[in-house]
Amino acid sequence: MTKMAAVYTSFVLIMLLMVSSCLCYCPLEKSYNTGNCSYRFHCIRVIQDIGLPEHCQGSTNYHVKVNVYLSDAIDRFDKSMNPKFLYSITSLRASGVWPQTNLSLIQYMPQLQTLNISGNQIEKITENAFYTLTQLEYLDLSHNRLSDVEGLFEFEMLPNRMRHLNLAHNEIQQIPSSAFENLTSLIELDLSYNLISYLDENSFDNLTNLETLRLNNNNIKNQIGALNALGNLTNLYLSKNEIQIIDDDSLELLKHLVILDVSWNQLDVLTPELFLRHWQHFEGRAVCKILLSENHLTFLPNATSVELMSRFTRHDHHKKRVDVLTKLDLSKNSITTIEYNAFRYLVRLTSLDLSQNKLTNFRVNADDLVYIEYLNLSKNYITQLNLECFLSMNRLQNLDLSNNYIDGIPDLLFINNYQLKRIDMKFNDLKVLENLHIKIFHPDEGILDLSNNAIYKMNIPSGEGMRLKKLMLQSNNISDPTNIDLKHQIDLEHIDMSNNYIQYLNSSSLCLPTNITHLDLSYNDISKIAPATFHKFRQLKTLRLSHNDLTGIEYGIFQGMTSLVYLNLSNNDISYLDSKVFIDLRSLYILSIEHNSMIFLDYKGWVAHKHELKVYIDGNNFTCDWLGTALSDYNNNFSKMRPYALNGGTGKHSLQGIPCVQKEIGELVQIDSKSGTLTDSDRLLAVNLKILEAIKNQTYVLRKFMWHSLYAESKNI
């Protein structure tokens, strides 16, 4: 036994060594040549058994790029490593668990330009780890546990080449005044998701080239003035801190910013100078974003400084020919009052979001709204719309007035606007619209959402609402569909009248344009549809009649609807359905009849259907015998109808994932569900129809051939 145990132990050791050696190298199958002297490697634990071709080692003819991903990394230099190869590495991503490290491995990689050691649980980096990395441009230390960065970024050569530094998602509480003094080339610094509560006045003094600074998701209060030395900063992210006030000391910095994000803070007072920007600083075109959402603002005061007003008039702006656009987000505050000249400093305001405030009206200087393209006033307490403001907004494209208390659209409100793409007025108090007061929509898109109001009557006369393509009227008080007169809207394609109180439809019920392609009448109380109800709508492709009270479908209901592709009759109370009632639906591709408790479906009328027809049948009482025959007829090409299930089933009460019921249930009713299947005569008819179709196609080909032959002969003559 001892000898056997020794042999077994030796075997286990050999296997462990083999496994270990397999795990500690750079597999060939994970090595890629991406160009001349450009490689990508994936190594495990250590970097060994790998090298570069001779002509790429120290090459001056080729730009050597070596990208290495080292997983489960051992944080030390191993003698088995190839120093020449390490010297050539230009990009390293190393992942491991290193609570404390001096990063000894990178001391042999002086050509490193990109270093990513994020997510390694690093608490402390010692011994000037980056000192010799004179080529380093991008350093990612995010998602670690660093709390102290003092003395961490010291380099052998100054100025260094570091341009991007990521310290996000660490545990940094304080930025010492000397922490970044050597990083004069830095253009982006990410300190987000840390524990910083205080900014030292001199912490960022040497970052004179910094353009983007991320300090969001910290505990910073009011020391924004510490950033005033950042003369080239254009993007500042301060969201989700504890800032209560922006004082005069910090305004000089803020005027240079293209993006200022102070959302999710505790601002309760807003100085209008915050909106000012030094337009000449942006050298041409720029889109400025000022984000102040999720604060405690209640009041927007006038811009009253005469000195500043004279500097930033629109006349001066146009003379400089600086194309600067501004997007302002003030959503999710508690604003009750906006003074008339509150937006005076915002030259070319194109986007304004005031949603989720406490406004009862919106009346500001119309001159400040001339360039507005997007305006969001949703979720306020507005009852009326100010004519003066909207008359000036002739560039307005997207308007959200939802969740207010508006009961009408004033005359001439949109008389000067020809660019409207989308108007959202859902959840208001609209009841009767005798005139839309919108002359014309944008050529590309016209959408009007009037859902969740109390509309029972609506009329859009000829010459109004031109280019309106989609109208939503769901969840209103429509009981008589003749009160919805849209017949003059020749561009209207999509109409949603779902979730209303319509009970009956006939040929005169729907005063809709004849060219509509989508009509939704689901979730009404429709119990009867008379023949020829939809005969005018020959371009209709989608018709939804689900969740109504229909008990049957009469012949002629779908008369003339040759373009219909999708029909939804689900969730009604239809027990009997004869496919012959769909005889006009030659283009029908999908039919939904789920959840009708249906026991009978005669599909003989679909023998010669134009397309394969998908019929969703789950939630009914079709027997497994009927379903088996229907599937067999489809699979043998006798029928174009293929049963499907949206919510499939398995076990003895399903076939091919489609639920069915035991025969005894089908026998409880007087109608034998098997009579809905094809007879031998029906199958013979299906075969004959296919033969006739083949003969028709062959005849067409022969005629075409003969015509070409006669044409060729006539040319020769």
- Chain segment 604-645, per-residue pLDDT in tens: 888 777 789 999 999 998 888 889 988 988 888 888 889 999
700 pLDDT higher than 80: no
Per DSSP, the three-state class of 125 is: strand
Quick check: 12 pLDDT over 60?
A: no
- Mean of pLDDT values over 6-15: 36
Average pLDDT (118-134) is 92
- CA pair distance 84, 81, nearest whole angstrom: 9
Could you give the dihedral angle defined by the CA atoms of residues 467, 470, 475 and 481, in that order, rounded to the nearest 10 degrees? 60
Residue of 245, 299, 238, 231 whose CA lies nearest to 264: 238
> Can you give the three-state secondary structure of 341-353, one letter per residue?
CCCCCCCCEEEEE
**Range of lowest pLDDT (51-55, 300-304, 307-311, 470-474):** 307-311
Residue 701 has pLDDT above 60, yes or no: no
SS3 375: strand
Give the least confident one: 223-227, 321-325, 693-697: 693-697
pLDDT value of position 214 = 97
- Cα-to-chain-centroid distance, residue 213: 26
What mean pLDDT do residues 42-56 have? 86
Q: Give the tens place of pLDDT for each residue, 234-290.
A: 999 999 999 998 887 777 788 888 999 999 999 999 888 888 877 666 666 688 999
3-class DSSP state of 715 = helix
Phi, psi of 33 (to 5 degrees): -95, 115
What local confidence, expressed as pLDDT, does residue 367 receive? 92
Predicted pLDDT of residue 18: 36
Distances from the Cα of 542 to the Cα of 502, 579, 580, angstroms: 19, 18, 20
* The two structure tokens encoding residue 694: 């083949």
Task: Round to the nearest angstrom and report the end-to-end CA distance of the chain.
Answer: 105
Could you tell me the pLDDT band of residue 667, with boundaries at 50, 70 and 90? very low
Q: Could you read off the pLDDT of 513-542 as tens digits, one per residue?
A: 999 999 999 999 999 999 999 999 999 999
pLDDT at 494: 98
Q: Is the peptide bond before 159 cis (omega within 30 degrees of 0)?
A: yes
Instruction: Kindly state the percentage of the chain with pLDDT values over 70.
Output: 84
Contact between 72 and 46 (Cβ < 8 Å): no
pLDDT at 230 over 80: yes
User: Would residue 233 be called left, alpha or beta, if left means φ above 0 and alpha means ψ between -120 and 50 degrees?
Assistant: beta
Looking at this protein, which amino acid is placed at residue 396? L
Ramachandran class of 619: left when φ > 0, alpha when ψ lies in -120 to 50, beta otherwise = left
Q: Report the alpha-carbon distance of residue 541 to residue 567 in Å, rounded.
A: 8
499: Cβ–Cβ under 8 A, 6 or more apart, which residues?
A: 474, 475, 522, 523, 524
Supply the DSSP symbol for 124. Answer: E
Pairwise pLDDT comparison (296 vs 305), residue with the higher score: 296
Residue 709, burial from CB neighbour count under 10 angstroms (0-12, 13-18, 19+)? exposed
- CA nearest to 268, candidates 295, 294, 246: 295
Mean pLDDT of 678-696: 53
Mark 155-193 as b/e (b = at least 16 C-beta within 10 Å). beeeebebbbbbbbbbebebbeebbbbbbebbbebbbbb
Q: pLDDT per residue over 398-446, tens digit each?
A: 999 999 999 998 888 898 889 999 999 999 999 999 988 899 999 999 9
Question: Are residues 258 and 288 in contact, defined by beta-carbon separation less than 8 angstroms?
Answer: yes
- Residue 608's pLDDT is 74
**Residue 21: which pLDDT band, with cuts at 50, 70 and 90?**
very low
**Across all residues in the chain, what is the average pLDDT?**
85
Question: 143: closest CA among 179, 118, 125?
Answer: 118
Lowest mean pLDDT across 49-63, 85-99, 133-147, 582-596:
49-63
CA distances from 643 to 32, 509, 542 (A): 49, 33, 20
Helix (H) or strand (E) holding 71: strand 65-71
- Cα atoms in the 13 Å half-sphere on the side-chain side of 53: 12
Please give the residue that has the higher pLDDT: either 709 or 128.
128
Residue 699 confidence (pLDDT): 61
**What sign has the CA pseudo-torsion 311, 315, 320, 326?**
positive
Collect all residues with Cβ–Cβ distance below 8 Å to 586 and sequence separation of at least 6.
562, 609, 610
- Going by pLDDT thresholds of 50, 70 and 90, the confidence category of residue 22 is very low
pLDDT at 2: 47
The confidence band for 8, taking pLDDT boundaries of 50, 70 and 90, is very low
Is the pLDDT assigned to residue 183 strictly greater than 80? yes
What are the distances in angstroms from CA 575 to CA 477, 558, 571, 602, 678?
29, 19, 11, 12, 19
Band (16; pLDDT cuts 50, 70, 90): very low
- Top pLDDT among 143 and 630 is at 143
The DSSP call for residue 710 is: H
**690 pLDDT tier (thresholds 50, 70, 90):** low
What pLDDT, on the 0 to 100 scale, is given for residue 651? 54
d(CA 397, CA 345): 23
